[in-house]
Each structure stands twice: as C-alpha cells, then as structure tokens.
Structure 1
Amino acid sequence: MAKPFFTIWGRLNSHNVKKVVWFAEELGLAYERRDIGGQFGFTDEYLAKNPNRLIPTIEDGKVVLWESNAILRYMAAEYGGERWFAADPIDRALADRWMDWQAAYAEAQRVPFLSFARTPRENWDMSAIEQGVIACARHLSVMERYLQEKPWLSGGQFGVGDIPMGVYAYTWFSLPFDKPDFPAIANWYDRIRGRPGYASQVMIPLT
C-alpha cells in the first residue's frame, strides 16, 4: 500500500484537529493522522514544524502549515476545486466568514466543554458554566437566524464554511446542560450527522 501523502499532526479529541480530518474525509484525501499534543505531548520534531505548541499541523509535500482554519482554506483551494473553493469572491467570502466567526463561539463554549469533558463533576463551577451556555446561545441566535434563510452556512450547498461550526455543534448538542432550542440549527445539524466523515471523525466521546 502506498504511503499516505497527506499527514495531519494532532490528537483527534481536539476540535481543531477534527475539522481538518473531517475535511480530508470529505475531499477523499489519502492521509495519515499522527497523535501529538495533550496526553501525547510534543516532540522536538513537531515543534520544529510548529513552534506554537498547538495542533493541528499538516504536511503534504508542498507546505507545512498550522492554524486549523488556514489549513481548511488551503485544502479547499488546493484539493477541492470550485466545488469547495468558490470562484466568485463574494460567494467564497460569505461562507468564509463563518470560519472566523467560529473563533468567538469557541471561546464562549470553552468552560461548558472543559467542565463536562475534563473536570470532575464535584469541581464544576455552575455559575461559570451557566454564563458560558448563555454566551453560546447569544452567538447561536445569530447562526439560527441565518439558517432560517439558507440551508447551509456555506449558502446553497454544504461547504467548507460549515466545517468549523459543524465540529462545535456536536459539542453543543452533547453538553448535558439546559439549553435553548434552535430549530434551524438542529435541522442543519441532523443533516451534517448523516455525512460519513462527520460520524466517524467528529462524533467521538468528548474528552
């Protein structure tokens, strides 16, 4: 069997690594994922590629690249063709904005996620968790309004703009805290759950 040409460095329980691996599945890339970060630590070899002590990093024989959303954009442009990297700059930007928007949402979700996935229940700070859920809901109300008008964050079809929030949606729906209902987001999420790469690479236990 030929050696995979596309290497993804990072542990799969990272939201940012999930984005890249899921998109590799969508693109049908032959890839190899190597555990690094978190419980696996960082090697000198890895830090020579990415001195930020963060994940993921990719290598494809052409570039060594870090920052997950930059990686997604590169993958779409280099391997996705117009299906994934729209020729029209307006269409591309309208989808692309959700990739950057996700960064603010991720910060809002951080405390609820870390509490549920990585903190003993007796150490939960319920006030901080509640504030985090409220902050998430405030962000998601914007996404809900958009999805009431468009089927996908990328516009008329599923695209790279849906990948980052697709990963965070799994966490949102998995958190065992009282949350408001967002019907349009729930519908979008149900459709994403039917994608094989999402089911296999994103919908894993939260740790």
Structure 2
Amino acid sequence: MLTLLGRSPSINVRKVLWLCAEMQLPIAHEEWGTPQLPLDQPLFLSLNPNAQVPVLRDGGFVLWESNSICRYLAGREKRADLLPTTPAARAQVEQWMDWQLGDLNNAWRYAFMGLVRHSPAHADPALVARSLVDWTRLMQILDTQLSKTGAFVTGEDFTLADVVIGLSVHRWFSTPLEDRLPLPAVDEYYAQLSMRPAFQLHGRNGMP
C-alpha cells in the first residue's frame, strides 16, 4: 500500500498527489507537517532526517525528495509516457525537472513567501524585488521553451516535467504582481493544464 506523508498545501506534496491522480494510482495520504502531526517527532525523523515533506512509503520502502518520488512512481507503474526509457528523451524530462527544483523554485521562493504567505522572514522589499526579477527571467526561459514545443515542456506529450513545472506556473499566476510580464506561451500552457482533471484536483484547486 502506498502512503504519502505531508501537508496538502505543500507544493511538493501536491506534485505527488497530482501524479497519482494522473495515473489513477490509489495512495493513502497522511497530513504530516500540521500541529497534530509535527515533523520533529521521532517517528517522522526516522523516515526523513531532514524533517521535510513529502515522504513516500511503499510497504517497507521509504523515499523522500518530491522529484525522486515522482520518478519512482512513474517507473513503478511503467509509465514511459511520463518518464521515457530512452536515454535522450528521459534526460530531457529530468533536465527540466532539475531546473524546476534547483533554479525556478529558488527564484520564486522569497517573493512568494513574502507576497502570498506573508512570512515575516520574507518581508525585505529589496529581496522581494530581486526574487521577482530572477523569477521573471526564468519564466521567460520557460515561455521560450513552450513557444518552441507548442504544447508541453519537452514536446507534444505530457510528462513528469509538466507535473513539477505546472505547479510552479500555478504559483506564478497566484502571486499578486503589479507588472506581470506578458508570457503568451505560458498563458496557453496554463490553460491547457487547467483542462486536466488531476490538475484541477491537486494543482489549480484554490491553493497557491
């Protein structure tokens, strides 16, 4: 039995929930990271010493890091449409997954936490402005890529790259920006993702 540990508002938890919904894969969900189930409990730390969500349990197998979980589940279900088996095609998907995790997320984090979550630790206007500049630059890169493919991040087909990047795109549109740069390919991409029932359920579901 698959079990996912992590609070629903977490973008990284929602990656996994969206993927499971796309694959129609049943998974139990426990809301760790709440006052009722804090992450500093010994039980959780024994599963992930980083005290971060999500964590996946598949019987006796335990895995953390959201993108790794997504890769594991796609491989487990033999979904080569989501994670290709040929080296070049797989590398392209993983390239964009890594870009989302290492570049895009780090760019938007300060601005999003300050403008949307109203975090006291992210209230420096200069750092918010810098975060917005970096975020916009990377969204322009994404817009250029989507203009080339005309569909999804790596081409005509929906893949794991779209699961992880799609949630970051949702945060772009959920953040109040005074001068949002026009990104027509990203606009079209977001509209296309929004037609997917699984994205409506775990992506564009009211949570920023």
Match of 2:106 in 1: 107
Counterpart in the other structure of 1:193? 194
Amino acid at match of 2:154: S
Quote the residue 1:163 is aligned against: 163
Q: Tell me, yes or no, if the aligned pair for 1:9 and 1:35 is still in contact at 8 Å.
A: yes
Distance 1:29 1:94 in 2: 25
Structure 1: 5+ residue stretches without partners = none
How much does 1:120 deviate?
6.8
Q: Secondary structure at the match of 1:59?
A: strand
Task: Give SS of 2:116's match.
Answer: helix
* Shift of residue 142, structure 1, vs aligned partner: 1.2
Aligned counterparts, 1:106-125, within 5 A? 106-119=105-118, 124-125=123-124
Specify the alignment match of 1:76 in structure 2: 74
Give 1:173 shift: 0.5
Q: Which runs of 5+ in 2 are unaligned?
A: none
Q: Does structure 2 retain, via aligned residues, the 8 Å contact 1:113–1:175? A: yes
Q: CA deviation at 1:81?
A: 2.5
Q: Say whether the 8 Å CA contact 2:8–2:14 is kept in structure 1.
A: yes
SS at match of 2:144: helix
* TM-score (normalised: structure 1): 0.90
What aligned pairs does 1:31-70 form with structure 2 within 5 A after superposition? Answer: 31-37=27-33, 39=35, 40-42=37-39, 43-61=41-59, 63-70=61-68
Aligned to 2:136: 137
**CA contact under 8 A between 1:27 and 1:80: conserved in structure 2?**
no
CA distance in 1, matches of 2:163, 2:91: 15
Shift of 1:132: 1.2
- Determine the C-alpha separation between the residues in 2 that align with 1:95 and 1:120: 33
- CA displacement at 1:124 relative to structure 2: 4.1
1:145 partner amino acid:
T
- C-alpha deviation, 1:128, in angstroms: 2.3
- Equivalenced residue count is 202
Task: Quote the RMSD (CA, aligned, Å).
Answer: 1.9
Note closer, same or farther for the CA distance 1:152–1:202 as it changes in structure 2 (3 Å cut).
same
- For 2:154, the equivalent position in structure 1 comes to 154
CA offsets, 1:53-78, max 9 Å, x none? 01100012252100111111111111
Give 1:202's aligned residue: 203
Once residues 79 and 119 of structure 2 are traced to their aligned partners in structure 1, the CA distance between those partners, rounded to angstroms, is 45
Distance 2:28 2:169 in 1: 25
Q: How far is 1:193 from its partner? A: 1.0
Conserved 8 A contact 2:152-2:162: yes
How far 1:204 sits from its partner (Å)?
3.6
User: TM-score normalised to the size of structure 2?
Assistant: 0.90
Corresponding letter in the other structure for 1:186:
D
Q: 1:81 aligns to what SS in structure 2?
A: coil
- 1:25 counterpart = 2:26: no
Q: Provide the C-alpha distance between the structure 2 equivalents of 1:80 and 1:182, rounded to a whole number of angstroms.
A: 34
Greater helix fraction, Structure 1 or Structure 2: 1
Q: 1:95 to 1:197 in 2, by over 3 A?
A: same
